[in-house]
Amino acid sequence: MKEKLESLKQEALEQIDQAQTADDLQSVRVSYLGKKGPITEVLRGMGKLPAEERPVVGELANKVRQVIAEAIDEKKAIIEEKAINEQLEKESIDVTLPARPVHVGGPHLLTRMISEIEDLFIGMGFEVREGPEVETDYYNFEALNLPKDHPARDMQDSFYITEELLMRTHTSPVQARTMNAYKGNKPVKMICPGKVYRRDTDDATHSHQFMQVEGLYVDKNVRMSDLKGVLNQFAKQFFGEEREIRLRPSFFPFTEPSVEMDISCKVCQGEGCSVCKKTGWIEILGGGMVHPRVLEMAGYDPEIYSGFAFGMGPERIAMLKYGIDDIRHFYTNDRRFLKQYHQA
Ligand code: 2NL
């Protein structure tokens, strides 16, 4: 009987050793330790043994049972650990791998141009103001010395909504409104960026909707030299220290005298090339001294106050800065175009 138990033990331990899975172990457990297993059978048959052998065999059988049970538990722990390790191996992530790039958008080139322009003028003490895109005829035209019979007020040139309302054709009405609000007794130093509308057929250089940044400085003793100083500072900061500016006489209904500002051509350093049409100079913006009628209508006494104003087109400036050949690129949103000007 002892030998039988001993060999059962060896047999079971061998099978446990060979077991690969939890299922294998479970069947070893059932076949050796189960109710119908050989050890249970030995214990059941104890009655037939001589009385003095019973405790010895009983103890041995229990011991064998215990050894097998322990071996199964041990092996089970090993199998479980192996399974966990395999899973960890399979599911491991390499945290040192470079991350997949996340494609984020960025401000539109025009938005960036306008922010840069704003920053430069803020640096010179100007405040930034915005106003409505749907304007009254009064603020868009009348208050800017464009009376009812002025050719610029032709129905063909603007988007009229009613007789009295239209899409603004420039951002000047924001400045006229500001002067009105200050009631003629406070200096004004502002720029106003925004969308404007003209009834044009779109082509490489025309768009029915585009951007404008206008500036206005009204105070006592504001002179043409102040305009020139401010514009010179802007041009050098925006286009580069090495750029020169020049003012040429021009005409606008809302300024007198009026000027246009050129910057020296960067491509040919003033020698003359195709970019500057052989002149050495590139036109950037228009401006002048605020017309006394405009000051007067806004409630400023032109005998006491004077001012300068200017206006520029961010599209034109971006086209010159980056060599963009078609204004429609700004509004057709081809990502191949937009992406080139993305900045983090
Ligand atoms: C241009 C020229 C200009 C102004 C805008 C202005 C505004 C007020 C009074 C007087 Cl409230 N003038 N604005 C003056 C001269 C020129 O714009 O070529 N813009 C793209």
Q: 231 CB under 6 A from ligand 1?
A: no
Q: Whose CA is nearest to atom 8 of ligand 1?
A: 172
Distance 311 CA to ligand 1 centre (A): 5
Q: Is the pLDDT of residue 330 over 80?
A: yes
Distance (Å, rounded) from C-alpha 330 to C-alpha 210? 9
Q: 214 CB under 6 A from ligand 1?
A: yes
Distance 310 CA to ligand 1 centre (A): 4
Q: Whose CA is nearest to atom 5 of ligand 1?
A: 311
Helix/strand/coil for 292:
helix
Describe the strand order of the beta sheet including 255-264 as a list of residue ranges: 127-128, 188-197, 209-219, 306-312, 281-290, 255-264, 245-252
Q: 194 CB under 6 A from ligand 1?
A: no
In 3D space, the residue among 147, 2, 144, 13 whose CA is nearest the CA of residue 75 turns out to be: 13
Write down the pLDDT at residue 155.
66
Distance (Å, rounded) from C-alpha 238 to C-alpha 191? 16
Beta strands in 110-168 (DSSP E): 127-128, 134-136, 165-167
Distance 271 CA to ligand 1 centre (A): 30
Q: 193 CB under 6 A from ligand 1?
A: no
> Residue range 99-119: average pLDDT?
92
Per-residue pLDDT band at 58 (split at 50, 70, 90): confident
Tokens representing residue 100 in the block: 């997949």
Strand partners, 195: 211
Write down the pLDDT at residue 49.
83
Q: How do residues 116-159 score in pLDDT, each as one tens digit?
A: 999 999 999 999 999 999 999 999 999 999 998 888 787 678 99
Q: How do residues 215-233 score in pLDDT, each as one tens digit?
A: 999 999 999 999 999 999 9
Distance (Å, rounded) from C-alpha 19 to C-alpha 113? 74
- Taking the CA of residue 294 as reference, the ligand 1 atom at the shortest distance is 9
- Taking the CA of residue 311 as reference, the ligand 1 atom at the shortest distance is 17
Architecture of domain 109-340: 2-Layer Sandwich (3.30)
Q: Whose CA is nearest to atom 6 of ligand 1?
A: 309
Distance 288 CA to ligand 1 centre (A): 8
Write down the pLDDT at residue 308.
98
Distance (Å, rounded) from C-alpha 172 to C-alpha 178? 10
Distance (Å, rounded) from C-alpha 247 to C-alpha 237? 18
Distance 255 CA to ligand 1 centre (A): 7
> Residue range 255-278: average pLDDT?
86
> Residue range 10-16: average pLDDT?
87
CB neighbours of residue 155 within 10 Å: 10
Buried/exposed 1-29: b ≥16 CB within 10 Å, e otherwise:
eeeebeebbeebbebbeebeeeeebeebb
Distance 277 CA to ligand 1 centre (A): 25
Question: What pTM value is reported for the model?
Answer: 0.74
Q: Is the pLDDT of residue 301 over 80?
A: yes
Q: Is the pLDDT of residue 344 over 70?
A: no
Q: 169 CB under 6 A from ligand 1?
A: no
Q: 218 CB under 6 A from ligand 1?
A: no
Asked whether the beta carbons of 75 and 25 are under 8 A apart, the reply is yes
Write down the pLDDT at residue 13.
86
Distance 254 CA to ligand 1 centre (A): 7
Asked whether the beta carbons of 40 and 31 are under 8 A apart, the reply is no
**Average pLDDT value for the chain:** 91
Domain layout of the chain by residue ranges:
2-90, 109-340
- Taking the CA of residue 258 as reference, the ligand 1 atom at the shortest distance is 15
Q: 287 CB under 6 A from ligand 1?
A: yes
Q: Whose CA is nearest to atom 17 of ligand 1?
A: 311
Residue list for the binding site: 256
Write down the pLDDT at residue 269.
76
Write down the pLDDT at residue 54.
83
